[in-house]
Structure 1
Amino acid sequence: MADRVEDTMAYEVATDLRELRGFVSTQALAQGLAPHRVELLALAVSELATNTLQHTTGGGQVRLWAEADQLFCDVVDQGPARTFGRDMPAADAVRGRGLAIVERICDEVAVLSRPEGTVVRIRLGL
């Protein structure tokens, strides 16, 4: 992976989310992700970044890259590891849909603990 090119953007406050979605969309299109999948990726990243802003301090960072017909996106923050594999909350539930949505619209979701923080890595096929 030494020749991998990553595109990265940091976010710190809720007003950064619009720019973050634009960044993710632009970079994903440039990497060859189909437009309808770009919208799903932007939604997933927005959900994860919102989770960061609501439940951690210090903001986070998003990085994207493509490898072997796959687009990867890491959302990195200083929060605890997230738990995936949950059922979708009931329709009348006030909270709890964000991670369930991410898991359903991405091809793969993984949580990694790294020295830089907690990484939620999502993958979508190009």
Structure 2
Amino acid sequence: MEETVGREVLRPAPSRESSDAPSPQAKIGGGDLLDRVFGPEDITVLRHEVTQRLASGLLGDRLDGFVLAVNEVITNVVLHAGGSGRLRLTRTATAVWCTVTDRGPGIPEQFRRPPAVPGGFADGGRGIWLAYQLCDEVTMATGPIGTTLGLRIDLPRHATGADLLDGLAATG
């Protein structure tokens, strides 16, 4: 419900989880799996929600690594980008994407390209490095009004009869 005060329109605060919750069909065939605003108190809960939405065997043995990459990115938002952000988890026919958006000051130049291995005693820099190691693609749009990081992990390909025959022909 909106209320007008002078020339300003007051709107109710958004809920923590989007009211456009994904349908069971979206979880199976693609689409939004999770769309959530988060803050410092939500990191653990959000990590568990991401795990739960992907725990059906969708990512196989890569699930834990992807969840770790997501955790590192949302922790960076809380520590370095104003403390809150938005996470969207979506599925396509071939991949799962996690998009994290914040309203922070932007990512410093030295962290914008695929980072080198952080030094053993380096202060920071491991979160984005881990994301690059654990994901199939990392995208970044950053500037003085915020950052959007995209993490993509490909779905495991299931072998078909044609794949098996092609493999035999290649090795035979």
TM range (shorter): 0.7 to 0.9
AA matched with 1:45: V
Contact preservation (8 Å) 1:21, 1:45: yes
Q: Specify the alignment match of 1:123 in structure 2.
A: 152
Contact preservation (8 Å) 2:138, 2:150: yes
Deviations 1:61-103 (A, max 9, x none): 1111111211111011112146131101111223221111111
- Could you say which structure has the greater relative contact order, defined with CA pairs below 8 angstroms and 6 or more residues apart? 1
Structure-to-structure mapping, 1:60-99, within 5 angstroms: 60-79=85-104, 80-81=106-107, 83-99=112-128
Q: Specify the alignment match of 1:18 in structure 2.
A: 44
**Identity fraction in percent:** 29
Match of 1:53 among 78, 98, 104: 78
Number of residues paired by the alignment? 121
Computing the radius of gyration from Cα coordinates, the structure with the larger value is: 2
Contact preservation (8 Å) 2:114, 2:132: yes
AA matched with 2:93: A
Structure-to-structure mapping, 1:104-115, within 5 angstroms: 104-112=133-141
Unaligned 5+ segments in structure 2 are 1-25, 156-172
Distance 2:46 2:37 in 1: 8
Distance 1:31 1:72 in 2: 16
Unaligned 5+ segments in structure 1 are none
Distance 1:112 1:90 in 2: 26
User: C-alpha displacement at 1:121, in angstroms?
Assistant: 0.5
Contact preservation (8 Å) 1:21, 1:46: yes
Secondary structure of the 2:31 match is: coil
CA RMSD of aligned residues (A): 2.3
Secondary structure of the 1:86 match is: coil
TM-score by length of 2: 0.63
User: C-alpha displacement at 1:31, in angstroms?
Assistant: 8.0
Distance 1:30 1:60 in 2: 26
Match of 1:32 among 50, 54, 58: 58
User: C-alpha displacement at 1:30, in angstroms?
Assistant: 4.4
TM-score by length of 1: 0.84
